[in-house]
Amino acid sequence: MQLSGNTILITGGSSGIGLEMTKQFSAFNNTVIICGRNKETLLQAQWEVPGIHIYTCDLAIESDRLKLATWIADNHPQLNVLINNAAIVHRENFTKDPFGYEKALKEIETNLTAPIHLIHLLLPLLRKQSSAAILNITTGLVYTPRTLYPIYNATKAALHSFTQVLREQIKPVPIEIIEVLFPVVNTPWHKGAAPRIAIQPQEAVAKMLKGIENNKAEIRVGAVQLLYFLQRLAPRFAFKKINQLP
Ligand SMILES: NC(=O)c1ccc[n+]([C@@H]2O[C@H](COP(=O)([O-])OP(=O)(O)OC[C@H]3O[C@@H](n4cnc5c(N)ncnc54)[C@H](OP(=O)(O)O)[C@@H]3O)[C@@H](O)[C@H]2O)c1
């Protein structure tokens, strides 16, 4: 994937890592479209990064995903990059939460069903472009789950698995399938209480772009590389370490 000259849809591009991607990809001369549920946040992002296009939708709702795909085909038929970044997390003890099941459905719909559906909807458009890429955003927790996030870990591990298969099945169509696995990043996601080891979004996205430049299909950002090896060498130790983080 080239770093410039693309038309990119970044889901959840109005906050945190997505917003930083919006800034860095815009600076590299790309047309950037972002979507999210909150119109105010989208307008704020557009004010911060003039020239981007915004679209309000709730990706957890199937009809919103269908409308988004139609809007893209009508307004940005040159779309050649899809970044599935939007996600939510519930911090809970699933066994004690009376709403655990409802929350799980929401997380699965947002973090897993939506990326799969968007890929399905936008593949015909992506196939028409001379070069195209799909980037799925996951986490080091695909290797070792954090007990704070019972469903989130599972949705991202499933997206990791799906991405590996998609990369094989899509051949010989030249659409690049890239997964970016982030470590803890200091974003609004952590509600002001990110663990001390969190890196800044600027660093996280700069490393992601470096990985793209180096043609990596699985970009393990920062500490994720260490966790990848640790989980293979000493899985129980890795599990303990991940769950000792504050
Ligand atoms: N922060 C970390 O430590 C960390 C670590 C590893 C991986 N990641 C991954 O990085 C990605 C971005 O995380 P972040 O920290 O930047 O999170 P964030 O600051 O909370 O941003 C999440 C974005 O997703 C959008 N979003 C959430 N639900 C949506 C829905 N149903 N429909 C449309 N948009 C929706 C939000 O906008 P609205 O609220 O307006 O909808 C927001 O723009 C996620 O995939 C996350 O799993 C984060």
Tell me the pLDDT tens digit for each residue of 37-78: 999 999 999 999 999 999 999 999 999 999 999 999 999 999
Instruction: Quote the pLDDT of residue 173.
Output: 86
Q: Is position 58 within any domain?
A: yes
Q: Check pLDDT > 80 for residue 34.
A: yes
**Rounded Cα gap, residues 52 and 41, in angstroms:** 13
Q: Is position 121 within any domain?
A: yes
Q: Give the residue-averaged pLDDT of 181-196.
A: 94
Residue 129's CATH number: 3.40.50.720
pLDDT band at 233 (very low <50, low <70, confident <90, very high): very high
Q: Is position 1 within any domain?
A: no
Q: Is position 2 within any domain?
A: no
> Residue 193 has which token pair?
């209480």
CA angle, 34 then 203 then 113, to 5°: 40
Q: What is the pLDDT of residues 124-177, one digit of tens each?
A: 999 999 999 999 999 999 999 999 999 999 999 999 999 999 999 999 888 999
Q: Check pLDDT > 80 for residue 245.
A: yes
Q: Check pLDDT > 80 for residue 88.
A: yes
Catalytic status, residue 228: no
Distance (angstroms) between ligand 1 centre and the Cα of 19 equals 10
Is any atom of ligand 1 closer than 6 Å to the C-beta of 122?
Answer: no
Percent helix, percent strand, percent coil in the chain, to nearest 5: 50, 15, 35
Q: Give the residue-averaged pLDDT of 194-200.
A: 93
Instruction: Quote the pLDDT of residue 14.
Output: 98
Q: What is the pLDDT of residues 115-135, one digit of tens each?
A: 999 999 999 999 999 999 999
Q: Is position 231 within any domain?
A: yes
* Domain limits for position 235: 7-244
Q: Is position 112 within any domain?
A: yes
Instruction: Quote the pLDDT of residue 26.
Output: 98
Q: Is position 229 within any domain?
A: yes
Q: Is position 60 within any domain?
A: yes
**Rounded Cα gap, residues 104 and 203, in angstroms:** 31
Is any atom of ligand 1 closer than 6 Å to the C-beta of 163?
Answer: no
Instruction: Quote the pLDDT of residue 162.
Output: 98
Q: Which of 214, 143, 207 is nearest to 180 (CA)?
A: 207
Q: What is the pLDDT of residues 95-118, one digit of tens each?
A: 999 999 999 999 999 999 999 999
Ligand 1 atom closest to 198 (CA): 3
Q: Give the residue-averaged pLDDT of 90-99.
A: 95
Q: Check pLDDT > 80 for residue 246.
A: no
**Rounded Cα gap, residues 88 and 161, in angstroms:** 19
Domain count, the chain: 1
Amino acid, res. 190 = H
Ligand 1, atom 19, residue with closest C-alpha: 16
Catalytic member of 143, 149, 152, 228: 152
Q: Give the residue-averaged pLDDT of 213-217.
A: 98
